[in-house]
Structure 1
Amino acid sequence: MTNQLNFEPKPRWILSVRDLPNERGRARYQVTGADGQTAEIVLDKRKRQVVDALLSGELYCASTVRIGDIVFRLKEDNGLHAETKTLSNGRKYYTLQGKVQFLGPISKEGVC
């Protein structure tokens, strides 16, 4: 008899905006895609909050927070690949694909 484990990730639940990281100022990130190409991007506001949260792990989001909209904008506007996956119970969650590295905040003068 084979003991088969069905592992499913346990995404962090984001039930409201206050569950996201607080920092919203401009910050730089280095993104490496599956093809090995790297690019530096600058994010702020909600995009930064979502990427910072995704850097700590997969996220499940209540519809009121609308992370899906931000994930779509990150793909379209910034070339950052965040994937939508589905758990066996049908709930969707988000995870980063490729490598994303936080490079640091950008001060108002543009100097880190």
Structure 2
Amino acid sequence: MDATIYHNPKCSTSRKALAKLEDAGVEVTVVKYLTEGWSRSQLEKLFADAGITARDAVRKREALYKELGLADADDDALLDAMVEHPVLVERPFVVTPKGTRLGRPVEGVDEIL
């Protein structure tokens, strides 16, 4: 099985999800989204495939969330902010042939292995 993980190496949850994939013998493509960034269409597809909204996927604990006043923002504004500031996207997202999940908690990845 192949998988793609949208990964932040500084995040312990992201590191645990990557280790889970590797331990399962999955061939993993690692996308370091903080350096590669996101496109709006990429985020829209990722969220739709995971069955969540931009509001579900935004990092509300990120200082930038408060600084940008995103608490009352609609999904369009959240997506714009996430494209401009990739750190605002929760992590990790994992994509396999069985589906897409936000690996928070990391056990959510089990559903698509």
Larger radius of gyration: 1
Structure 2 length-normalised TM: 0.25
Please, what TM-score do these two structures have when normalized by structure 1? 0.25
Higher strand share: 1
